[in-house]
Amino acid sequence: MSRGGVSTPILHVDMDAFYASVALRERPDLVDQPVVVGGSGRGVVLAANYVARRHGLRSALPMTRARRMCPQVVVLEPDYALFTAVSASVMETFREVTPIVEAMSLDEAFLDVRGSTRRLGDPPDIAERLRSTIHDEQGITCSVGVAATVSVAKLASRRAKPDGVIVVPPAEVTSFLHPLDVGELYGVGEKTQALLHRFGLMTVGDVAHTPLRTLQRAVGAHLGRELHHLAWGTDRSDLAPSAGPHEPDKSMGANETFARDTDDRDFIVRELLRLSARVGGRMRSAGVAGRTITLTVRFADFTTITRSRTLSEATDVTVEIHRAVTRLYDALGLQRARLRLVGVRVEGLVPRSSVQRQLVLGEPEHGWAEADRAVDRATRRFGAAAVRPASLV
C-alpha cells in the first residue's frame, strides 16, 4: 500500500441474486429449493437463486423455458415495494462508510472509500465489514470487487460471486483482465461480442493489443475508444454520487406486452390510454413535462418499430400524450398486423415550472390539465384502481 493514498479505493458492491434473496427471507422454507422471481405468462426470470442456477436458470430466461428446464422450480412474484425498501437500507449502510456512493440500480453501487481508510481501515477490510453488516442487518449476501477503477471493480465483484471479495491491485490489472472473454466488458453485449469474435478478437487481451484505429473501424469511434480503455483498465475512478437529489430522468415511459397478440384497434387505443395515464401521472408527480412523444409497436414476430412526434410545447397532460400516440398509431396504417406490445414514452423532460403554456383563448384543451390534477388527487386518496378514465372501466 503506497503512502499518501490507497491504490484500490473503488468498491463495487453487488447483492447476490438480489430479488431472489430478498423474496426468500419471507420464505425460508424454500432456501434449498430452486427458486426464481418472475412474472407469469409471457414474462422472464428476474432473478434465480443459486440452487436454480445449478439447473441452468438465469435472469432474462423466458419463464416458459425455465419451467421446461426445471419443472420443480418455485416461482415467486416480485414485491417491488419490498425490494425498494431493502435497497434503501443497504444504500444507507454504504453511506455510513462514505458519502461518495454511485448507485447503479437497486442492487449494486460503487463506493469511493479514499476518505474512509483512516477511520475504517484498508479497502479490503472495509469490504468485509460491509458484507457482514449487510448480512447481519438484511439477511442477504453480497459480493465486492476492489480496484483502482470502476470497471475493474465491477468485473472483480462478478468474479467474487457469490458471497466473496476480490481485490485487484494495479500491478495485477492486466493479468486479471486479459484472459477474460471480450463479452465480459461493460458495453459489450451479444451483438458486439459476436462482431469482435468475427474479427478474431476473443479475449480482452486481444482487444488491448489491437490498434485503436482498427478497433474503431470495427465497432465505431466511440465504442472503440471505450473498449481500448476498458481493456487496459484505464477507465474512470471518479464517481458521480447519487445521494440526495440526483439527476432528473431524461425520459419516462411505459409499455405492455399483451397476454396474447392482437389486431383490435379499440383494444389497442385503450391500452395506449392506460399507458399514457401511467406516464402522465408519473410525470406530474415528478413535476416534469416533455415535448417528444414516442410510440413503440412490437409485432407478433418480435420486430419492433418506433414513431415519434415532437410537439411545439412540452406537456404532462394525459389526454395530449394519448392523442399524440394514437395519431402515430393510426399513421402506421396497420391492416391485420398482430401486435404483442405497445409502449408510450415522453422524452426531453424539463421541469414543469420552466414550461410557459400558451393559453389560447377559448382553447378546448384548457380543462384537461385541471382534470388530470383532479385524477391525481383522487388517486392519492383512493388508489390507482379506483380512478381511471371512463373508457377503461
Round to whole Å and give the CA distance between 255 and 240. Answer: 29
**Shortest gap between Cβ of 261 and DNA (angstroms)?**
7
∠ CA 330-333-336, rounded to 5° = 110
CA distances from 160 to 12, 93, 145, 165, 166 (A): 11, 20, 7, 5, 5
Contact letters for DNA, residues 79-108 (x by CB under 7 A): -------------------------xxxxx
Which residues does 192 contact at the CB level (< 8 Å), separation at least 6?
Answer: 182, 219, 223
Compare residues 278 and 323 and give the one whose CB is closer to DNA: 278
Cell output for 320: 395530449
Asked if 376 is part of the footprint of DNA (rule: CB under 7 A), the reply reads no
**Shortest gap between Cβ of 191 and DNA (angstroms)?**
3
Among residues 56, 59, 57, the alpha carbon closest in space to that of 46 is found at 59
Reply yes or no on whether 108 is catalytic: yes
List binders of DNA among 255-314 (CB under 7 A): 255-257, 259-260, 278, 282, 291-292, 301-302, 304-310
**Shortest gap between Cβ of 54 and DNA (angstroms)?**
21
Which region, judged by CB under 7 A, interacts with DNA, from 50-58, 81-89, 93-101, 251-259? 251-259
List binders of DNA among 155-214 (CB under 7 A): 185-193
The DSSP call for residue 244 is S
Round to whole Å and give the CA distance between 2 and 119. Answer: 17
Which region, judged by CB under 7 A, interacts with DNA, from 1-9, 163-171, 232-240, 249-257? 249-257
> How many CB atoms are located within 10 Å of the residue 33 CB?
14
Compare residues 30 and 223 and give the one whose CB is closer to DNA: 223
Catalytic, out of 26, 92, 108, 370: 108
Asked if 341 is part of the footprint of DNA (rule: CB under 7 A), the reply reads yes
**Shortest gap between Cβ of 172 and DNA (angstroms)?**
22
Q: Which residues are annotated as a binding site for Mg(2+)?
A: 14, 107
Among residues 128, 111, 115, the alpha carbon closest in space to that of 12 is found at 111
* Long-range contacts of 188-196, Cβ-Cβ distance < 8 Å, separation of 24 or more: 188/227, 192/219, 192/223, 195/219
Q: Which of 30, 33, 43, 202 binds DNA (CB under 7 A)?
A: 43
Within a 13 Å sphere around the CA of 211, how many CA atoms are in the beta-carbon half?
A: 3
Q: Which of 251, 262, 326, 379 binds DNA (CB under 7 A)?
A: 251
Alpha helices for the chain (secondary structure H) = 18-26, 50-53, 63-69, 80-97, 117-120, 123-138, 150-160, 173-177, 190-198, 204-208, 212-219, 221-232, 265-286, 318-331, 367-382
Which region, judged by CB under 7 A, interacts with DNA, from 119-127, 217-225, 236-244, 368-376? 217-225
Which residues does 6 contact at the CB level (< 8 Å), separation at least 6?
Answer: 113, 114, 117, 122, 123
Compare residues 187 and 351 and give the one whose CB is closer to DNA: 187
Asked if 39 is part of the footprint of DNA (rule: CB under 7 A), the reply reads yes
Q: Which residues are annotated as a binding site?
A: 14, 107
Which region, judged by CB under 7 A, interacts with DNA, from 83-91, 92-100, 141-149, 219-227? 219-227
- How many residues bind DNA (CB under 7 A)? The answer is 59
- Binding residues for DNA (CB under 7 A): 39, 41-44, 46, 59-60, 62, 64-65, 104-108, 154, 185-193, 220-223, 249-257, 259-260, 278, 282, 291-292, 301-302, 304-310, 340-341, 343, 345, 348
Q: Show which residues are catalytic.
A: 108
